[in-house]
Amino acid sequence: MLDQINKTRSDRSYDGANWNEHEDKFTQTFYEQNLSQFWRPEDISLQPDLNLWASLSPEIKLAYAQNLVVLTFLDTYQGDIGMPVVSRSIAPEYHQRKAVLNFMAAMENAVHAKSYSNIFMTYMSNDDIEDLFAWGQDNKNMQNILALIVGYYENLDRLNYKRQYQGLDGDVSDYEYNVAQWKAMVASVFLESCLFYSGFYYPLYFYGQGKLMQAGEIINLILRDESIHGLYIGNLAMELYREFDEKTQKELYEWLTTYLDEIYQEEVELIEFIYDPVDLSHDVKIFVRYNANKAMMNLGFDPYFEYEEVNPVVLNGLNTETKTMDNFSMKGNGYQKMKSESLMDNDFYFDAPRIKR
Ligand SMILES: [Fe+2]
Ligand SMILES: [Fe+2]
């Protein structure tokens, strides 16, 4: 029976994750960072936002809610397939890398997408929520953006299975596989470090003015996660890119800029659809170009768009360094999970000097 199960993997030797040895120079640092900033959707109560929400015009409410739908859809697929497929594509011996990617995968849908739903459930009726999700499913640009991202994830998924179980579907060359893996990582970094930001803009715009602060806190916590996700996958992508010969590197860079143009075009139309009614499209496009440049840098390249000044109100909302938090009403993104160590007998001898072992 086992022979049959393993017939395509007869030379296989199973091993375990040994955290005593670093797999590379950066993964354990990202591991620490990811776990130290863990949070749960229910950590933040949204009730204090309700009065302000009720005072907003229907156009503003709609733009705000549509942005959260965009964010929800992106986070959903990043959790369902984006992160898991990149994790599966990592060579089997890199157990720590897989653990970091799997942890990030769990955050995307179970924490981030769930948090957007908590905002919907607090601010809106069931019928309104249903209409919003239906809007996302019908919106051409939203669907095109997802197809542009998820298509590369699915391609890598297909090759992962082919490669792992070659008996099923023929060989996959290293070249074909590595290109597919790198492109999926590029799609992932664009999603994490650029596409999210058109949706983040509006909550940050309110937050920067001291409005809808609880929802703004959630956005800041998500943003803090996404920024290390983009950096981590960017690191993996850079490592892979350096392995390609010069000619391939040139071709891949060409592909990258075409891909960015294509995504950006869809993004521009989506931004105009959502933000024209509240007169903010111009500023949001600047913000997205600013973040597209950050995505390029995460992938190891120079900025693609000209440098432009971002709306200072949004930068104020983005400034995560200087917040002072009231821990009874807000968790705040300055919140760090407590570092703990096991209690020992001598922790309870209060008179004797404590000896650290
Ligand atoms: Fe996410
Ligand atoms: Fe993410």
pLDDT digits 0-9 by tens, 221-237: 999 999 999 999 999 99
Q: Which ligand is nearest to the CA of 232?
A: 2
Q: How far apart are CA 99 and CA 63, in angstroms?
A: 37
Q: Which ligand is nearest to the CA of 191?
A: 2
Q: Does residue 189 lie in a domain region? A: yes
State residue 163's pLDDT score.
87
Answer whether residue 252 is part of any domain.
Answer: yes
Number of domains present in the structure of the chain = 1
For position 167, what pLDDT does the model report? 59
Q: Is 14 helix (H, G, I), strand (E, B) or coil?
A: coil
Q: Rounded CA gap, 184 and 191, in Å?
A: 11
**Whose CA is closest to 224, among 94, 85, 323?**
323
Cα distance between residue 357 and residue 33, in whole Å: 26
In a domain, 338, yes or no: no
Q: Ligand 2 center to residue 156 CA distance, Å? A: 18
pLDDT digits (tens, 9 = 90+) for 62-98: 999 999 999 999 999 999 999 999 999 999 999 999 9
Low-confidence stretches of the chain (pLDDT < 70) are 1-11, 166-170, 320-357
Given the residues 116, 197, 202, 290, the one annotated as active site: 116
Show Cβ contacts of residue 85 under 8 Å, excluding neighbours closer than 6 positions. Answer: 153, 154, 156, 157, 160, 184
34 alpha carbon – ligand 2 mean position (Å): 11
CA of 277 to the centre of ligand 2 (A): 29
Q: How far is the CA of 235 from the centre of ligand 2 (A)?
A: 14
Residue 290 annotated in active site: no
Q: How far is the CA of 108 from the centre of ligand 1 (A)?
A: 4
290 lies in a domain?
Answer: yes
Question: Is the residue at 347 inside a domain?
Answer: no
Ligand nearest to the CA of 34: 2
Amino acid at 139: N
| Domain annotation covers residue 334 | no
What confidence score (pLDDT) does residue 211 get? 96
Is the C-alpha dihedral spanning 258, 260, 261, 265 positive or negative? positive
Q: Quote the pLDDT of residue 354.
A: 46
User: Hey, what are 102's tokens?
Assistant: 């799997």
Distance 113 CA to ligand 1 centre (A): 7
Instruction: Indicate which CATH number applies to the domain containing 232.
Output: 1.10.620.20
Residue-range definition of the domain harbouring residue 247: 49-320
pLDDT recorded at residue 170: 61
pLDDT at 171: 80
Q: Residue 25 domain-assigned?
A: no
- Nearest ligand to the CA of 107 is 1
Q: What is the pLDDT of residue 93?
A: 94
132 within some domain:
yes
Answer yes or no: are the C-beta atoms of 31 and 23 closer than 8 Å. Answer: no
- Span from the CA of 226 to the centroid of ligand 1 (angstroms): 6
